[in-house]
């Protein structure tokens, strides 16, 4: 067997089980936290910063289905798992035993290697794949309390050795063959045929202080192991590589090639152990000599408190830096969400704003003074007679309005109804167009497509047309009230009564629709004459300046009601978007005034700022 290992640390270092060593390790924990606080890594306890970060990432919502969202959600889930399984518990207990995860590809010999290190069968090894169905954690009996609670890998239930393991559980095996201060975890295959096993393998590797990575002479160049090794290099994790089942005579050649590959990927400092192809005994065990260098390396680390601290801090710092990079990714995803949400909202608001503008334009371009409205107005005031001399015939208009009050001519209600019908048709048509345009824009946008699938948003909701009719009637009622208010003094009131309050209000409606820009030919003259009649009637009652004011007030009132109707319908779309702030950066409460401050008193911290604080924390660790 050949191996490449760092020199063993001095044997004089105290064991982890010694009280003095434990006290020294705890003191080092405090020193690191003091360094982080002094360096600006946190506004308080760094562990609290990590817990706030965990809550922030766990509470992250990416409701819009942008193209990269599934990957971002998976990254967030992985970040939460690593915070729970490794980063928070390790930072809280820097002097706890190291967790060495034994990982690798299917059939690499992980379980056989673990059994050989322990010196007797502990885990199952066999030809049926996947072999490792439950992760098995071997630890020294003195270290049992570090692993029986949920400090690390809290999502996995604990099963003592010999118990029945089901579901996502961690089998704990106390064994004096494992040196105190370090634990071995036999993980499932990283390329297992089982999706659950692959997921669990990744989770366990993310919780490791160091990796004992097992590969074989004929598979060490496979893509899957190298993806994980490159991830380890990026996280600055301590890695030892075991090259297993190397045929006799090619050990040096294969080991040299693997060292070259490791160096090229930034892992040149990794320990490399070569296990030659060896016949197993009747208990499927390797001979002790085959794994003696690995066992000695682990034992030397376990005896050297300084070496353990270096490994823990290096791996922890790399994990926190990798977490900060993930937070940058999440912050960018949040910005993309806000940008997409703003784009979808602008599409809707733009469509409905155009609808409101065009609806009001229909009230001012004279187009409403045609058809039924024009006919009813002519019936009411006898407009044709006024083309021969409006001024001279105002008395006749007054007589006709007075006759209306006595029930003789067509009632003014017919004009009001015609105006309501015409205005109703305009508003409903514009709302329907805005809904259809908004729906089409959302369907064409990846961010809005899923939002538009539930129900046909292009159709106006039940009750919308009734709401439009109600608003128009209320507008007409407001105009009647406005006429009564403006005619409060005795002289104006007398004039208004002589014309009829309802008749004056109808005249005001006609004047609101007075512009003839949208009409041509004969219609211009008819509509214009109608408007002049209404204008003269109002001026006779209120005076010219008051008529201008009344018209402006009536138009503003109508515009407000049209806008309110269309805004209310636009809410059908906008309510499907994430509320302002939910997908924003302000997702974590960090920096409360004191430890007793509740969440409501905490200061929101953007995800990008959390990432910056984590980098300071990683540098200090």
Q: CA nearest 207: which of 312, 93, 321, 85?
A: 85
Measured CA to CA, the distance from residue 592 to residue 589 in angstroms comes to: 7
- pLDDT tens, 30-39? 555 555 444 4
pLDDT for position 367 = 66
- DSSP strand pairing (169-174 vs 210-216): unpaired
Cα–Cα distance between 601 and 362 in angstroms, integer?
A: 52
pLDDT for res 44: 61
Q: Which pLDDT does position 292 carry in this prediction?
A: 95
Segment of 55-69, 375-389, 503-517 carrying the highest mean pLDDT: 55-69
Question: What pLDDT, on a 0 to 100 scale, did the predictor assign at position 13?
Answer: 35
Place of tokens 């960018």: 332
What are the tens digits of pLDDT across the range 267-281? 888 999 999 998 888
Q: Which ranges of 487-599 does DSSP label H, i.e. alpha helix?
A: 490-499, 501-512, 522-542, 544-574
What is the mean predicted confidence (pLDDT) over 519-532? 46
Q: What is the pLDDT of residue 401?
A: 47
**Residue 218 binned pLDDT confidence (cut-offs 50, 70, 90):** confident
- Contact by Cβ (8 Å): 299, 25: no
pLDDT at 509: 78
Mean pLDDT lowest for which of 74-88, 194-208, 358-372? 358-372
Write out the DSSP string of 120-147.
Answer: S--S---SSSS---S-EEEE-GGGTHHH
The pTM of this model reads 0.71
pLDDT of residue 411: 56
Query: Can you name the residues that pair with 99 across neighbouring β-strands?
Result: 183
Which of 195, 174, 197, 177 is closest to 187 using CA atoms? 197
**b/e 131-151 (16+ beta carbons within 10 angstroms → b):** bbebbbbbbbebbeebbeeeb
Q: Is pLDDT of 587 > 90? A: no
Out of 209-213, 262-266, 432-436, 479-483, the most confident range is 432-436
The three-point CA angle 432-434-439 to 5° equals 95
Given a cut of 60, is residue 22 above it in pLDDT? no
496 pLDDT more than 70: no
Q: Lowest mean pLDDT of 11-15, 170-174, 221-225, 408-412, name the range.
A: 11-15
Q: Where are the alpha helices (DSSP H) in 406-489?
A: 412-444, 446-449, 464-486
Q: What is the pLDDT of residues 322-333, one digit of tens each?
A: 999 999 999 999
Q: How many helices (H) and strands (E) does the chain have?
A: 22, 11
Could you report the per-residue pLDDT of 453-475, keeping only the tens digit for each? Answer: 877 899 999 999 999 999 999 98
Cis amide prior to 98 (ω within 30 degrees): no
* CA dihedral for 238, 126, 172, 9, sign (positive or negative): negative
- The string of pLDDT tens digits covering residues 71-101 is 999 999 999 999 998 999 998 888 899 999 9
* 426 in Cβ contact with 368 (< 8 Å): yes
Residue 517 has pLDDT above 50, yes or no: no
Which pLDDT does position 407 carry in this prediction? 44
Quick check: 525 pLDDT over 80?
no
Instruction: Give the whole-angstrom CA distance, residue 312 versus residue 50.
Output: 17
Q: Which residue has the higher pLDDT, 401 or 59?
A: 59
Which tops the pLDDT comparison, 535 or 325? 325
Q: What is the pLDDT of residue 532?
A: 60
Distance separating alpha carbons of residues 392 and 38, to the nearest angstrom: 93
The pLDDT confidence band at residue 188, using thresholds 50, 70 and 90, is confident
Tokens of 60: 């992250």
Tokens of 78: 């992985």
Does residue 75 contact residue 151 with C-beta atoms inside 8 Å? no
Q: What is the pLDDT of residue 605?
A: 73
Mean pLDDT value of segment 431-435: 97
Pairing of the two strands 271-276 and 157-160: unpaired
* Span 106-135, pLDDT tens digits: 888 898 999 999 999 987 654 444 444 678
Question: Is pLDDT larger for residue 308 or for residue 514?
Answer: 308
What is the distance between the alpha carbons of residues 403 and 458, in angstroms, rounded to a whole number?
A: 48
Residues 283-321 pLDDT 10s: 889 999 999 999 999 999 999 888 888 899 999 999 999
Percent of the chain with pLDDT strictly greater than 70: 71
Using alpha carbons, list the distances in angstroms from residue 84 to 160, 331, 399, 503: 22, 20, 88, 76
């Amino acid at each position: 067997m050949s191996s490449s290992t760092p020199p063993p640390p001095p044997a004089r270092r105290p064991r982890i089980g010694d009280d003095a060593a434990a006290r020294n390790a705890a003191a080092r924990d405090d020193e690191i936290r003091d360094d982080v606080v002094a360096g600006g890594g946190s506004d308080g306890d760094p562990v609290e910063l990590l817990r706030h970060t965990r809550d922030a990432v766990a509470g992250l919502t990416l409701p819009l289905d942008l193209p990269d969202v599934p990957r971002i959600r998976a990254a967030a889930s992985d970040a939460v798992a690593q915070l729970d399984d490794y980063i928070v518990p390790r930072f809280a207990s820097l002097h706890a035993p190291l967790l060495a995860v034994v990982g690798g590809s299917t059939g690499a010999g992980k379980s056989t290697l673990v059994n050989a290190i322990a010196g007797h069968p502990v885990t199952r090894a066999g030809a049926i794949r996947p072999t490792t169905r439950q992760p098995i954690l071997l630890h020294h009996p003195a270290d049992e309390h570090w692993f029986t609670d949920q400090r690390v890998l809290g999502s996995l239930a604990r099963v003592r050795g010999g118990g029945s393991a089901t579901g996502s559980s961690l089998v704990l095996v106390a064994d004096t063959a494992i040196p105190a201060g370090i634990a071995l975890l036999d993980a499932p295959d990283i390329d297992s045929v089982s999706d659950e096993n692959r997921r669990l393998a990744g989770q366990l590797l993310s919780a490791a202080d160091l990796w004992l990575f097992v590969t074989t002479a004929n598979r060490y160049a496979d893509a899957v192991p190298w993806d994980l090794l490159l991830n380890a290099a990026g996280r600055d994790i301590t890695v030892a590589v075991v090259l297993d089942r190397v045929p006799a005579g090619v050990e040096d050649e294969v080991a040299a090639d693997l060292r070259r590959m490791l160096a090229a990927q930034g892992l040149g400092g990794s320990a490399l152990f070569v296990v030659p192809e060896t016949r197993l005994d009747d208990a499927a065990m390797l001979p002790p000599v085959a794994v003696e260098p690995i066992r000695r390396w682990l034992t030397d680390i376990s005896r050297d408190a300084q070496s353990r601290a270096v490994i823990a801090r290096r791996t922890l710092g790399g994990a926190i830096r990798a977490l900060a990079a993930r937070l940058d990714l999440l912050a960018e995803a949040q910005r993309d969400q806000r940008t997409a949400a703003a784009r979808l909202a602008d599409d809707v608001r733009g469509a409905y704003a155009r609808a409101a503008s065009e609806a009001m334009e229909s009230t001012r371009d004279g187009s409403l003074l045609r058809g039924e409205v024009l006919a009813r107005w002519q019936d009411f005031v006898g407009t044709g007679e006024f083309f021969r001399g409006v001024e001279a015939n105002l008395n006749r208009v007054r007589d006709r309005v007075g006759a209306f009050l006595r029930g003789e001519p067509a009632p003014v209600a017919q004009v009001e109804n015609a105006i309501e019908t015409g205005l109703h048709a305009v508003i409903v048509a514009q709302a329907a167009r805005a809904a259809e345009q908004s729906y089409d824009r959302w369907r064409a946008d990846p961010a809005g497509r899923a939002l538009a699938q539930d129900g046909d948003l292009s159709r106006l909701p039940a009750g919308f047309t009734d709401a439009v009719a109600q608003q128009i009637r209320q507008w007409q009622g407001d105009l009647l009230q406005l006429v009564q208010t403006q005619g409060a003094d005795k002289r104006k009131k007398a004039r208004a009564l002589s014309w009829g309050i309802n008749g004056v209000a109808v005249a005001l409606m006609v004047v609101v629709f007075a512009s003839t820009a949208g009409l041509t030919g004969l219609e211009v003259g008819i509509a214009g004459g109608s408007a002049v009649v209404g204008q003269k009637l109002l001026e006779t009652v209120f005076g010219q300046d008051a008529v201008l004011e009344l018209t402006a007030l009536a138009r503003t009132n109508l515009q407000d009601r049209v806008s309110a109707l269309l805004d209310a319908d636009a809410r059908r779309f906008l309510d499907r978007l994430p509320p302002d702030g939910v997908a924003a950066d302000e997702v974590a409460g960090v920096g409360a005034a004191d430890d007793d401050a509740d969440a409501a008193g905490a200061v929101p911290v953007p995800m990008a700022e959390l990432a910056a604080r984590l980098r300071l924390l990683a540098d200090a660790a």
